Structure 1
């Protein structure tokens, strides 16, 4: 599998990563899936302390026993949960980030994190304090590099200007082309890589996607539009790829994107994701057709 350099870092990540949020509840099945992903050539595993209140990190800690050096491991922080308090709350303070990383390290059973990410962020955050926390963790050897997970243009711009982030994890797909308007070019110019999450748009951009379309639609597409697009998209797709493979290839076609991280809750989904690397890249005609069929969405908030 091809590996791409993550920004200006010394990390080289597989172009197909492994998003762990949808791991099965059964621990044995979850561990098997992680081990299978590594066996299939994936070296980039993404998680977060938020996922199932830390359970996913614990599962990964068990699955990576004896395999830690084979993977580029990334997790996230910034969402704070306290027993007795109703729900998670946003906390990008230095004190919390430095507390959260210790807990993630324990759950993941590792003494370092390759890429530590801020799991969100607003323009009203104490951004310099947050950056200081990540920089100190780098100096202490607890993390190798850091990035942010965000779809807020105003926040992304501040971190581009004020920090040494090597990546931005953002939602990007044929149905969510918002990053193309301005973010992808900005990040590419600053040698900051994009990690594309949600490349198959909650399963809508897959062969069984018609059944995944909800009455609420998706972003600025209503249900009827999605159903129509699905049929047209299927006609335009290369028969040598499944729809999800075309969707993943679409994300990877932009030079700013280092890795796409589709989720997988079963082996068949994982193998379909991995086998994307054995399918042809999108032709210029396919890209043009996709652009003509889909909407050039734009970020309307957080400007």
Structure 2
């Protein structure tokens, strides 16, 4: 599988990353999914301290222990579980970040994290303090690089201006083209990569399209009626002999600022399907143009 450089770092990530939240809590079965990802050439594994109250990090760490130097582990911080585990609160303080990283390292069974990401964030956060925490963790050797996971343009602008982040994780798909308006061009200009999530738009852009449409729901600013018209048309004019999953994942990769497409998988078969899609032929300029004609150029209405 091809790899792309992650921002201004010296990390090269596989074009498909495994979103580990979906592997579940059965350690044996989760290991099968992760081992299948390795067999397919995936070297980028994305988890978070929030997932399954930290258990996901433990499972991922154990599964990757024997190949630790060959893989890139990304995890996230900022969501703090309540003592009674009834939910979580947002805590982007320097004190918490520097405490939480040690817990993540212990669960992952490693002495460094390749990419440490702020798991969200608002313009009201103590952004300078967050950056200070990440920079100190880099200096101390606990993390190699840092990024944020955010779709808020105003927050992303602040980090571009003030920090040394190498990546931004954000939702992006043919049905969610909001990042194209300003965010993707800005990040590209500054040498910062995007790691995408939600490329299949909750399955609407997969070969389960008909099944998902049957649920009768809309998506973002698309009504159910609009989806019923757009999706079959999109599949007809662009997919052709390709699977719809191929078109969806390749659409993300067609943007040069995208380093890796992170897709979840709840079975080894799903990993193989996603890997096959990533390894398929890139979209032509004409195909990308056609997709943009058929879909909406959505824009962010908030957090601008």
Instruction: Show CA shifts across 1:85-108 (max 9, x none).
Output: 642111000010011111111111
Which is further off, 183-192 or 232-241?
A: 232-241
State the superposition RMSD in angstroms: 1.2
Query: Which residue of structure 2 lines up, in the alignment, with residue 34 of structure 1?
Result: 34
In structure 2, C-alpha distance between the alignment counterparts of 1:233 and 1:24, rounded to whole Å: 32
8 Å contact from structure 1 (residues 171, 197) kept in 2:
yes
Match of 2:9 in 1: 9
Cα distance in 1 between the residues matched to 2:122 and 2:261: 24
TM-superposed deviation, 1:252? 0.4
8 A Cα contact 1:78 1:97, kept in partner: yes
Query: Could you tell which deviates more after superposition, 162-171 or 268-277?
Result: 268-277
C-alpha displacement of 1:239: 3.1
**Superposition map of 1:55-134 within 5 A:** 55-84=55-84, 86-134=86-134
CA positional deviation for 1:264: 0.8
**Residue matched to 2:175:** 175
1: distance between equivalents of 2:217 and 2:204?
13
The CA deviation at 1:132 is: 0.5
**Quick check: 1:254 aligned with 2:255?**
yes
Per-residue deviation, residues 161-183 of structure 1 (Å, max 9, x unmatched): 00000000000000100000000
Query: CA shift at 1:254, angstroms?
Result: 0.3
Q: Deviation of residue 240 (structure 1)?
A: 3.7
**Whole-angstrom CA distance in 2 between matches of 1:227 and 1:29:** 36
Contact map agreement 2:238 2:290 (CA 8 A) in 1: no
Distance 2:167 2:279 in 1: 26
Contact in 2 for aligned 1:112/1:142 (Cα 8 Å):
yes
The equivalent of 1:295 in structure 2 is: 296
- Once the two structures are superposed, residues 123-177 of structure 1 have per-residue CA deviations (whole angstroms, 9 ceiling, x without a partner) of 0111000100000000000000000000000000000000000000000000100
Secondary structure of the residue that 1:67 maps to in structure 2? helix
- TM-score norm. by structure 2 comes to 0.97
1: distance between equivalents of 2:210 and 2:24? Answer: 23
Who is 1:190 aligned against?
190
Q: Secondary structure of 2:9's partner?
A: coil
Cα distance in 2 between the residues matched to 1:68 and 1:240: 38
Matched, 1:271 2:272: yes
Q: Which moved more, 1:132-141 or 1:230-239?
A: 230-239
Residue 281 (structure 2) aligns with: 280
Aligned length: 303
Measure the CA separation in 1 of the matches of 2:130 and 2:279.
40
Q: Distance in 2 between matches of 1:156 and 1:79?
A: 18
Name the structure 1 match of 2:202. 202
Q: Are 2:168 and 2:195, in contact at CA under 8 Å, matched by a contact in 1?
A: yes
Give SS of 2:239's match: coil
Structure 2 partner of 1:231 = 232
Tell me the residue number matched to 2:154.
154
State the Cα distance separating 1:118 from its structure 2 match. Answer: 0.2
| C-alpha displacement of 1:243 | 0.5
- Superposition deviation, residue 82 in structure 1: 2.5
Contact 2:249-2:278 within 8 A present in 1 as well: no
* TM value normalised by structure 1: 0.97
User: How big is each residue's C-alpha offset from its partner over 1:202-251, in whole Å with a ceiling of 9 and x where there is no partner?
Assistant: 11101112222444411101112112222111102233421011100000
Distance 1:55 1:209 in 2: 32
Contact 1:24 1:266 in 2 (8 A): no
Query: Any unmatched runs of 5+ in structure 2?
Result: none
Q: Distance in 1 between matches of 2:237 and 2:16?
A: 23
Give the deviation of 1:39 after TM superposition. Answer: 1.4
Provide structure 1 residue ranges, at least 5 long, that are not aligned to the other structure: none
Aligned residues of 1:81 and 1:89 also touching (Cα < 8 A): yes
Asked whether the equivalents of residues 210 and 227 of structure 1 are also in contact (C-alpha less than 8 Å), the reply is no
